[in-house]
Chains A and B, each alone.
Chain A
Amino acid sequence: MDNKKYVYWLEQLAKEDVYTAGKKSCNLGEMARAGMPVPPGFAITLAAYEKFINDTGLGRAILAYLNPLIDQLRENVDLFEEASIYIRQMVEATLVPAEIKEAILHYYRELGNRCGIPDVAVAVRSSGPISMPGQFDTFLNVRGEEEVIEKVVKVWASSFTGRAMAYRLQRGMYVESSPIGVAVLKMVNARSSGVMFTLDPVTGDRSRIFIEGSWGLGESLVSGQVTPDKYVVDKVTLEISKRVICPKSIELVYDASGNVKSVEVPLSRQTAPCLSDAEVVHLARLGKLVEKHYMFPQDIEWAVDADLPFPENVILLQTRPETVWTQKEVKPVTQPRASALEHIASSLLSGKKLFSS
């Protein structure tokens, strides 16, 4: 990887490139390279952030502002919140060096070409080199060159939240700079979305693929506002072995300005499954592919894009290793025996219990 380059296509990145473009972008890149359908997009590198902070003199300006306060800040980290407001305003008011701006806009235009949509709506997401979920800002439904640059800067600025700076100070890291990458992804026009585990989260059964989904954006599922539809698929035969369709009365959608809003689902759609059987099976097939690639059961976020035809409409947004079951020590379910015959005898002896006593 060229450490000076400012922008890459996602599929040019692999998981070892986290210090080039951050975790989020590299994970998506890794997925894209393995043939998984992720939203098309590009990654702005850590180098771009560094150039922005250094070349514009921002780093020095921040330091100059913080230095006199440093003892106070050490004593009372709450003061960082105040400092943060000032620093973020300063960052957001700084012009992006032309070299970087041109690189980003070049990729943005090209993304529009790829999608066949000029000024394509994108999500601008932070992509830190280490996992800090929820620390940095994410902007959805971003449209047009000007707005893209503005939101990229805002993501960069979010590395100066009070919490983040306090964290850095306490750990003896540079406070005035914390390079993060930015992922710019085509917005998925989510008809349905949800999560998928490549094992049964209830029993740990690794032969099951467990899918939950509801209408609209996935956040409603995470926040527990909706009881999702549930599907269980046999990982080997890809047969749907369970299907629980729940009434889904609300869904989250974007309003015109890109804000997420909750709307009521029309009655006719409430009790309809949010995925067709073909979509369920296709998702499961993708889940299997992801697990095989990472050699570990996965916890995956997915969406179905209303703008695309099946099967391209099924898109994976994120994947991470499943941690609950895979960290447990697995013991053999049956005591090993010398022969099949001994297993048979033991099974006959235990019989089938019909009743609780």
Chain B
Amino acid sequence: MLKRQTFISPHEVPAIPGTEGWERMYPYFYRFSKDDPERKAYEESMLWFYDGLHYPEPMYPFDLIWDEAWFLALSQNNTRIFMVPPALGVDHRIINGYIYITPVPVTDPQEVEKRLQHFLQRAGYYYEHWDELYDRWKGKMEELIAELEGIDLRDLPEMEDEGVVYNGIGLSKGYELTKKYNHLIDCGLRAWQYHFEFLNLGYAAYVTFADFCRKVFPGIADSTITKMISGIDVILFQPDERLKELAKAAVKLGVAGIIKSFDRPEEIIAHLGTSEAGQQWLDQFEKAKHPWFYISSGTGWYHDHYCWLDRLEIPFMSIKSYIDKVEKGDNLERPLEKLRAERDRIVAEYEELLVTEEDRKTFRQLLGVSQTVFPYVEDHLFYVEHWFHSVFWQKMRELSRIFVNHGFFSDVEDIWYLNRYEIQEALYDLVTAWATGVKARGPSYWPPEIAWRKGVIQKFREFTPPPALGVPPETVNEPFTIILWGITTKRLESWLEADQARPEELTELKGFAGSAGVVEGVARVIRSVSELSTLQEGEILVASTTSPSWAPIFTRIKACVTDVGGIMSHAAIVCREYGLPAVVGAGYATAVIKTGQRIRVDGNQGIVSLL
């Protein structure tokens, strides 16, 4: 086992020249601090690891909202709601624009014992009523999204409507706008409250089942464990299913030619509108949009992860490639029955291999609870990160347009360089100036500040954040830390290794065995959605991370490698589905591998070899 080694201290991370003062872009409590001796000592005693899984890019000040949101939501569920016996929350810091987190343990054994009693009752209630509570959860999420969509953000009037007077309202549109912004933020935080309502317990169940499987079958692959509990009909496949249906409909209605002969979505739609068959197809297209086109082209965590509705060329690209397949006579159906039967066979055969009746009972208990929790673990992403976030980003752009109108920003996309507290302040500046009938301070204050911040973020981008800081603990009990970020001995080892090697000297990258199989081929490094069209049939996709909206390209690739993500990441799930080898969380893949290079992807062992 690894000898305990420490990483660089969080207080010794070098500053990036030209970014001095970057701290003001983020909330003060996110900084590592040297002036508070107690806090400094605490910070130095913990293992802080870079959350590259969620944040492959530096944080825009506004985008930090989701980090703040889950900082609270995950932690409260461990610490205060379900009383996870040995684990408190996950603490957060930011340095040079990158987020570092650390799980906080409960160290007093008596305290653990006290928490255990509460945990058994509280978690027990959730596990027992899971399906019913999850149904209610979907209702809550859909209501919340409707509430968010209902927030009507429009510019302020020259003169208030007379209704304000005749109805005795007494409130101005300026005041209302500040309230709406607060409402928007409230919806955002609430979505994340819901996000973690089930997730901690879901992961805890999964970790327990996976541990049991590994103990009783030491050689079992992680991908096989997941195969036993994954849902077959998960929501994340739905958007792609709609596109397949649309492709089939296009061929059937005889409009495939029109769709294929134009590049821009507006042109396609305009041409389809001229015929009855085309109109019929467009009706189906409209119906498919809600909510499935809210699927993000990325993970949904960043404002520039546009959804299909924002970028119709993405679904059209997929529809076209599906049309080609339909015309070639390929069957696009996912063989649900076959997949389900295969999953059941795997489960049954594994159970049969257990020698003792005791273990068979444990296996059934843990399999049962894991299969119960898994639909949530897989499906919540669509509700929160995709559907909710996509609507949210649209609302924020509507708000930003008001700032642009008032000269605060020169571009709608400037808003992301202010954090959520600063926007509240700027908005108050804007409405008071509007109310007073004077020029606001913002138009002279924000543009130079935004220009400076753009430069800082650019410099952050050129910085490679160290994978970890501080001192690793002897054990980790926090379920997220284990499965989402995969903080294991092996992981820390490879971090320490990669930390020392120079990228150009690497001949091998280690990651997680996301999906089984071994294949050799030519790499295609994809850094953004716009590059997806360069991908050639039969290449190996190398990307920082992948998203559900990329699904169609998985039918064209041979294998997949990602920088970030564990065995539950999108790339791993989809590759298992399509039977493609995948190595996920390989750390430096997009930095080290070049397009055109021959690589070998070993999805059984989680190794990428550069040939």
Contacts and interface: CB of A to CB of B under 8 A. Distances in A.
Interface string A239-273: 11111000000000000000000000000000000
A345 B85 contact: yes
B215 interface: yes
Interface in A199-251: 200, 203, 205-208, 232, 234-237, 239-243
A242 B350 contact: no
A331 interface: yes
A331 B369 CA distance: 24
B366 A348 contact: no
A335 B472 CA distance: 30
B204 A235 contact: no
Given A207-B353, A277-B518, A336-B361, A354 B220 contact: no
A292 to B, nearest CB: 10
Contact of B211 (A235, A336, A347): A347
A303 to B, nearest CB: 24
Contacts of B3: 355-356
Given A200-B218, A331-B356, A333-B215, A236 B224 contact: yes
A349 B366 CA distance: 16
B86 A349 contact: yes
Interface in B91-114: 112
Contacts of A334: 212, 215-216, 358-359, 362
A207 B362 contact: no
B205 A340 contact: yes
Given A332-B359, A334-B215, A236 B475 contact: no
Contact of B116 (A206, A339, A349): A349
Nearest to A241: B604
A234 B228 CA distance: 14
B217 A207 contact: yes
A50 to B, nearest CB: 44
Contacts of B361: 336
A171 interface: no
Contacts of B487: 352, 354
A355 B2 contact: yes
B221 A205 contact: no
Interface in B108-162: 112, 116, 119-120, 123-124, 127
Interface stretch (B32-40, B476-484, B546-554): B476-484
B496 to A, nearest CB: 12
A239 B580 CA distance: 12
Contacts of A232: 219
Nearest to A277: B518
A236 B362 contact: no
Contact of B87 (A206, A343, A348): A348
Contacts of A200: 218-219
Nearest to A328: B355
Contacts of A332: 356, 358-359, 362
Nearest to A353: B475
A333 B127 CA distance: 24
A354 B227 contact: no
Interface string B185-208: 000000000000000000011011
A241 B479 contact: no
B350 A236 contact: yes
Among A205, A236, A240, A241: residue with most chain B CB under 10 A: A236
A299 to B, nearest CB: 17
Contacts of A350: 477
Interface residues of A, number: 42
B448 interface: no
A205 B604 contact: no
B200 to A, nearest CB: 10
A88 B529 CA distance: 82
Given A333-B215, A355-B4, A236 B208 contact: no
A347 B217 CA distance: 17
B86 A241 contact: no
B359 A348 contact: no
B127 A203 contact: no
A330 B355 contact: yes
Contacts of B488: 352, 354
A353 B490 CA distance: 11
Contacts of A116: none
Interface string B486-501: 0111001000000000
Interface range on chain B (Cβ under 8 Å from partner): 35 or more
Contacts of B207: 347-348
Contacts of A235: 349, 353
Contacts of A353: 1, 474-475, 489
Interface centre among B224, B350, B365, B487 (most CB of A within 10 A): B365
B219 A241 contact: yes
Contacts of A341: 120, 123-124, 127, 369
Nearest to B472: A354
Nearest to B116: A345
B605 interface: yes
A354 B476 contact: yes
Nearest to A330: B355
A130 B227 CA distance: 46
A200 B211 CA distance: 19
A137 to B, nearest CB: 40
A344 interface: yes
Nearest to B358: A332
Contacts of A134: none
A253 B224 CA distance: 40
B571 interface: no
A226 B361 CA distance: 44
A79 to B, nearest CB: 51
Interface string B336-377: 000000000110011001011011011001101100000000
B27 interface: no
Interface string B547-572: 00000000000000000000000000
B476 A351 contact: yes
Contacts of A354: 2, 472-476, 487-489, 492
Contacts of A241: 219, 221, 516, 604-605
B456 interface: no
Interface in A134-162: none
A342 B208 CA distance: 10
B472 A348 contact: no
Nearest to A210: B219
B84 interface: yes
A357 interface: yes
From A206, A232, A342, residue with most partner B Cβ within 10 Å: A206
Contacts of B466: none
B517 interface: yes
22 contacts: A200-B218, A203-B219, A205-B218, A208-B219, A235-B349, A237-B516, A331-B356, A334-B212, A334-B358, A340-B205, A340-B208, A340-B366, A345-B120, A348-B87, A349-B85, A349-B86, A349-B477, A352-B487, A354-B489, A356-B1, A356-B2, A356-B3
Interface of A: 200, 203, 205-208, 232, 234-237, 239-243, 277, 330-334, 336-337, 339-345, 347-357
Given A344-B204, A354-B487, 13 more contacts: A234-B219, A236-B345, A241-B516, A241-B604, A243-B604, A277-B518, A330-B355, A332-B359, A340-B127, A342-B120, A345-B120, A347-B212, A355-B472
Give me the 6 closest cross-chain CB pairs, A-B, nearest first.
A351-B477, A332-B358, A340-B369, A347-B208, A356-B1, A330-B355
